[in-house]
């Protein structure tokens, strides 16, 4: 089945297969904070349209850190709206560039426990396959009861993950 295009943003196409609970987005170039906020609104609109609470977001080509104001907007405005409008906690697998991985493991400005308003379960990954396996464990499916990944492969050994429950 083909992915149905949902986004008009040339720098961040969004797709979801018919009958799937998984929304996919991929950054095509480094994004500014303003472009990320536009992307977030497109993701929310697509998630509402398709009732997708599971998101696979690939941002490996955008390795720069973003300003604190963007993180505040995500925490205080965006993720609470996503949860309220979807009626469920979204599960988001973020695939990031290896250069970003070190920064994810260091303490942030605010401890993660101080961010309960995010209302999202977020997993951080270096590769897409372990991210898909994690989303599948959370309940995501693509096209009915079929699994997204072949069961014979052990993806736990193929990537690392950090998981934050906000």
Kindly report, residue by residue over 38-75, the tens digit of the pLDDT: 999 999 999 999 899 999 999 999 877 888 899 899 88
Q: Which residues contact 25 (CB under 8 A, 6 or more apart)?
A: 7, 12, 13, 14, 15, 39, 43, 55, 56, 57, 58
Higher pLDDT, 18 or 8: 18
Q: Distance (Å, rounded) from C-alpha 25 to C-alpha 39?
A: 9
pLDDT band per the 50, 70, 90 thresholds, residue 160:
very low
pLDDT of residue 124: 86
Enumerate the domain spans of the chain.
Answer: 3-165
Decide: 11 and 48 in contact? Cβ < 8 Å.
no
pLDDT of residue 104: 56
Decide: 24 and 40 in contact? Cβ < 8 Å.
no
Q: Is the pLDDT of residue 19 over 90?
A: no
Q: Is the pLDDT of residue 151 over 60?
A: no
Q: In terms of Cα–Cα distance, which of 2, 7, 37 is closest to 25?
A: 7
Measured CA to CA in angstroms, residue 153 lies from 92, 136, 141, 142 at distances of 22, 14, 17, 18
Range 131-135 average pLDDT: 94
The neighbouring-strand residues paired with 56 are 24, 93
pLDDT of residue 39: 95
pLDDT of residue 152: 37
Range 27-36 average pLDDT: 94
Q: Distance (Å, rounded) from C-alpha 104 to C-alpha 59?
A: 14
Phi, psi of 61 (to 5 degrees): -90, 5
pLDDT of residue 145: 35
Query: For 81-128, how does the pLDDT look when each residue is reduced to its tens digit (9 = 90+)?
Result: 999 999 988 999 999 888 776 655 544 434 444 444 467 888 889 999
Structure-derived torsion over alpha carbons of residues 110, 130, 82, 106, reported in degrees to the nearest 10:
10
pLDDT of residue 33: 94
């Amino acid at each position: 089945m083909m992915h149905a295009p949902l986004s008009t943003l040339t720098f961040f196409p969004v797709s979801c297969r018919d009958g799937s609970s998984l929304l996919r987005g991929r950054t095509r170039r480094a994004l500014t904070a303003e472009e990320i906020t536009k992307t977030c609104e497109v993701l929310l609109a697509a998630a509402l349209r398709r009732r997708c609470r599971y998101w696979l977001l690939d941002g490996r080509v955008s390795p720069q850190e973003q300003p604190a104001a963007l993180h505040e907007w995500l925490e205080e405005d965006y993720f609470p709206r996503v949860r309220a409008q979807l009626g469920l906690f979204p599960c988001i697998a973020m695939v990031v560039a290896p250069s970003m991985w070190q920064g994810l493991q260091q303490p942030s400005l605010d401890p993660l426990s101080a961010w309960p308003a995010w209302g999202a379960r977020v997993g951080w990954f270096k590769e897409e396959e372990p991210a898909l396996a994690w989303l599948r464990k959370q309940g995501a499916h693509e096209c009915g009861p079929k699994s997204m990944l072949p069961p014979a492969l052990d993806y736990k050994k193929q990537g690392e993950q950090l998981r934050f429950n906000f």
